[in-house]
Every structure is written in structure tokens, then in C-alpha cells.
Amino acid sequence: MEPRQELPVQHFDHCPWLFGNEATGEQRLAQAERQRSVGGDSEVGERCYVAGSAAVFPDRLRLGDDSYIAAHAYVTGELTTGTDCTLNPFTVVRGTVMLGSGVRIGAHTSLLGFNHSTAPDRPVFRQPHTSRGIVVGDDVWIGSHVVVVDGVTIGDHCVIGAGAVVTKDLPEWTVAAGNPARPLRDRRDTANASPARAQGGDALARFAETARGQAADIVARCWDGERYADRPGAAPTVRAHCDAVEIADLLLATPPGQLDRGEHARRLSALQDPGTGLVPEFGAPLGATPSVPHDDGFPGEGPALYHVLSVGYALDLLGASFPHPVRGAREMTAEQLVARLERLPWRDGAWGAGAWIDSWATAAHWNLRRPDAEATRPGSLEALFGWLLTRADPRTGMWGSPSPVAGWLQVVNGHYRLTRGSFAQFGLEVPHPRRVVDAVLEHARDLRHFGAGRENACNVLDVAHPLWLCTRQLGGDTGGDGGYRSAEIRAWAERQLAAALPRWQDGRGFGFGPGTSGPGPEPGLQGTEMWLAIVWLLADLLGRSDALGYRPRGVHRPEPVHDGPPRT
């Protein structure tokens, strides 16, 4: 076999993506010197390439990691890029230009972040320059021979067709072309896209293969040597450990590699307070919970509520269980439970009310699996389901009402949490399923929560699960068109799936998303765990979940854990 020929520098200038794998040591030293020689106030990130034939004369340059400036590009002024940005051959970037991450700029394209004034009192060549700047968001593809003029903002996820002249702002997810450029469609509208672009089984299989191949590293990056944090640099949390267990189980069918199965179970079991049966957050003293228990023995808010779900299911996946009963569920009488349900903040905090029921019902579930004593006081579980069935609004299928400020957000998200822990977990039918579908689809059209770039894992999950649950209850054919409002459900699922898969960040997983709830947009364990479950639900609504090769078994499992009504 003949030795591979050394590629000349000119080849890398035109194909800089080859440099990282094929450059010689001498060529790497020369590239490092090339980057140091770039003038102005310049900082070039890791694994970047700046072509020797490119005319790069910036006043200020910030080139993000894994980015390149290819052959014969012309760069002046102030250029700032995120990571993974490419300026292909013969591109022109001048004036003040800011690029997000994952931006692709085609050959012979010009981004002109400056202009001349045009007053009639002097020749054009004597006119002063003006500059409002150009801003390009994340995940944007600008085709070849495009011109973007000063003052334009291009939103995240846009695609600009070859030869376009962009003179006005483009909102997120816009596909645009023409002179002047005009919006053609929303990039997420897969119904009007070519079949090759649709999120079919092949795309799901490729996604799952990628996620599976990176799962171990994503979990490992969140291990600080002793405990798990949601993401590097964050404080360790109980939930992060549970999310790591869920991700590893879902994608690798094994516990996270940092500890053996027995040690994972031992550490999580040791977190439970034997007096209350609750799990406090790290740093809270044993025997205390982050929120003061009520006189009926069960807390009203705080991490301990969710830990009933996350720690309980993580232990279950590890083949273990809580060592102690959750006493607030075991000892609460039917009368106390009904009084508590009446006091929950249904008017202005339906989400929190639903979360409380989710936690209490899940605690009852774990108690039911114990062989040593009763799960709850006689009649308590029956009282729970009786109260819920008689209080559901027959017009909406919901508990609570929408508000002018938040719309359906609190009510729909509360419905998901409530029904997850009660009806879905215990294998019972939710009341008024058609009205639930109506309300949830109305909520899903609210641009305050589902506008471009505004979706987060919580809000998408809290629509996807009720639609999935009601579709099956109403006898809708999975992925078919015969169920109640099935065409609208499928269209929504297609749009969300098309938007969700590109959010995966290699080696980091999914970010939770924007908003005041949750850990934010940075990739981490919570976002990854939740979006993996969401992708499955969306794919299953479309009849394609088999392509993923995984099925949630923890907190977001689709199957009930009890067959038929509970008996206490």
C-alpha cells in the first residue's frame, strides 16, 4: 500500500475541514504562526484555520473554536463568531459582524456591516462611513453569492438561498431567497418540505445512534469525581445523579460507569430520611426537607417533592427501591388528603398543584410495592381519584382555568404532572379526553410559549404526553389518521420533532431550553434526559418510535406501573 501523499497548504486553504486530521506537524506549526500574525486585536480559538491566501485585516477578531476562514476570503472591521463557523472561499465580511454558533457562509457571499452616507452635498467617495452592524444567530446557513447589507439581523436556524440579497431582518426558522430576499416558509414546516428533509425513520435512527455513541461521555463530563452535577461547573444535585442513571439506562442499558450498580443504589438509598421517607437536597441536614412539612406530614414544595419521582425511579432502574416508606403518603387519612386537595392553588398555581399530586401519588405507588405494611390509610387512594374525577372541568378536561397572563401554561403543565403520577401511573383513563386534546392544542398555538426559539423541555413534554395519553385512550391508531384531531396532532409532533433533533450538541447532549423554570439553555443531564423522552413521545405519536431503539423506563415511562385501579 503506497503512503498517503501530503496535502499542500493550498489544498487546506480551499478545504480547511481536512486540516485537523491530515495536516503534518510542520503544517500545524505554520498555521499557528499564521494565526499569530493576524493583525489587530485578534483572538483565535482552538482547532481553527485561517487560510494563508485570505486577506484578514481586522480591527478586532474573535474567532470561536472549530471555525475557519477559507481561501481568498476578505475580512476587515470587527468580526465575532461563535463555535463551528465557516467562511468559505471568496467570502467578504466587513464592518461590524456578529455570528452565532454553527453558521455556514457559502462561497462568494458578502456580509457588509457598514455603508456610506448619501448626502448630496459631496461626492460619494467623500461621504463618511456608517455602521449599524449585522447579527446572525445560531445554526444559520447562508448560501453562495448572497449579499447581506448593514443593519440586518438574521434569526436562529435560518436558511438563505443562493444569490439572495438580504435587506431586512429575518425571524428565526425562516427559509428565504430572492432579490430582495423574502420569506418562503418556516424551516420547521416539514409538511411543505421535500420528503428527503422530513424527520423519517432514518433520521431518528441516526439520531439515536449518535446519542448512544456519546451517552457515556455526556454523563462522564458531569461527574466531578465524587458526585454528579447537571453540567460542568454547576453544583452537584440529587436530581443530576438520577438523570445520569436514566440516560445510561435508556441509551446503554447499564448504570453510569463512574460507579458500579450496587454503589449507585447504595448512595441513592442513603439519601432517604428514615423519619419522613423523603429525600432532601445535598447540604440539607438528614431529617430535614427543603420545605416545611404541613401538619398532614407531606411537604408543599421544594426539591423533596420531585425526588420522590427521580430517586424512586432511579433506584427502580438499578434494581433497588426506597429502604423506608414515604410516611406522608402512608399516614395521611382520606379526610386530610381531601382537605389538602382543596387547599392546593388551583386558581393561580395549577402547575404546582399538579406537581404535589404527582409526588403524593408516586409516593403511594412506592409504598404499594413494599411488602411490610399498608400503602396508605384505608380509602386515601380512592379519595384521591374520586376527588380528581369529580373536580375535572367537563368543558376542558382540566383542573384550573387559563389566565390572561399565562394562558393555558399553568393549567396544561399541571394536567401533565397530575395525570402522570395518578391516572397514567396507575393505568386509569383520564376524564374528558377529547376536551383535553382541545385545550392542549389551543395551548400549543400560544406563541408566548411555543414561538420560534421559546420552547423548553418542560413545555413541550407537558403537551406531548397528554396528547399521547389521550390518543391511546381514544383508540387512535399510532401514527395513523383515524383518531380525534389526529391530523393536527401529527402536524404538531412533526414540527416539534424537526425542531428537537438539531438541538442535540455533540458531546454535550440537549439543553433544557429558555425560560425561568429549569436549568436554562446550556446542555446538561436534565435537558438530555427530558428531551430523549420527548423525542420518543413525538416519534411514537407519528408511529416511528421503533426507529429509535429505546423506550423510556423511568419517570417518563409510557406504560403504567399498576394494572387497574389501586386498592388500599
Q: Which string of DSSP letters, residue by residue, matches 201-269? A: HHHHHHHHHHHHHHHHHHHHTTB-SSSBBSSTTSPB-HHHHHHHHHHHHHHHSS--TTS-HHHHHHHHH
How many whole angstroms separate alpha carbon 197 and alpha carbon 207? 14
Per-residue HEC secondary structure of 526-553 comes to HHHHHHHHHHHHHHHHCCCHHHHCCCCC
How many whole angstroms separate alpha carbon 31 and alpha carbon 19? 10
Residue 360 CB coordination number (10 Å)? 28
68-69 and 110-113 beta bridge pairing: unpaired
From residue 433, alpha-carbon distances to 387, 418, 420, 463, 472 in Å are 17, 14, 14, 13, 10
* 344: helix, strand or coil: coil
Question: What are the catalytic residues?
Answer: 116
Nearest to 560 by CA among 371, 359, 420: 420
* 436: helix, strand or coil: helix
Q: Which residues of 161-198 are buried (b: 16+ CB within 10 A; e: fewer)?
A: bebbbbeeebbbbbbbbeeebeeeebbbebeebeeeee
- The amino acid sitting at 469 is L
